[in-house]
Homo-oligomer: A and B are copies of this chain.
Amino acid sequence: MKITVLVGSLRKLSYNRQLAATIGERHRDKFALTVADIRSLPLFDQDEEEDAPQPVRELRRSIADADGVMLITPEYNWSVPGVLKNALDWLSRVDKVMIGKPVMIAGASTGQMGTIRAQLHLREVLAGMRARLLPPAGNEILIAGAAQKFDAATGRLADEATLRFVDEVVGRFVEFVQAER
């Protein structure tokens, strides 16, 4: 199984990037996780969508080839980071590779709310793109207080209870992807 992940933060020590790495390592027996390069994307310009720049074409191909997509992202200003939304805007046009694609959402933040507002917006975006979302109730990965739950030395999620819950949701997502095939 091939999963492509888009990480909504570009900073090097992003907890969300670390969460993606944690998931990829712990579940490598179930799927190969590829972190998409969304930093190289230009800002979306409809005038260029037909003859899209190389990084856009590569991202489209990665999503088209994937069995499922993970969106792991912080919340910026009570919503989805522009960086991530820009990638989704490119993916919604011309090839429309997100249609019908199984998608799982997760997020980590240093605050109390764990990116819940970003996830609410993101689910509407994905409904508009006709992706197939893992149903949210019971599957919301909202990691609050990230500074205490990630290990600064290893750069991996280390909180046991949180890891257990993340593993459960990832397990349900794997089944969800298989059921979609």
A76, B47: Cβ atoms under 8 Å?
A: no
Interface pair A79/B80, CB less than 8 Å apart: yes
Main secondary structure on A side of the interface with B: loop
Stretch at the interface among A60-68, A101-109, A120-128: A120-128
**A153 contacts partner chain B, Cβ-Cβ < 8 Å:** no
Q: Decide yes or no whether A147 CB sits under 8 A from chain B.
A: no
**B81 and A89: CB pair below 8 A?**
yes
Cross-chain pairs A/B with CB under 8 angstroms, 21 sampled? A10-B44, A12-B47, A39-B43, A43-B82, A44-B76, A77-B88, A77-B92, A78-B124, A78-B125, A79-B80, A80-B85, A81-B86, A82-B83, A82-B88, A83-B86, A83-B89, A113-B116, A121-B124, A127-B136, A130-B135, A130-B137
Binding site for B on A (CB under 8 A): 9-12, 14, 38-39, 41, 43-47, 76-89, 92, 112-114, 116-117, 120-121, 123-125, 127-130, 135-138, 142, 144
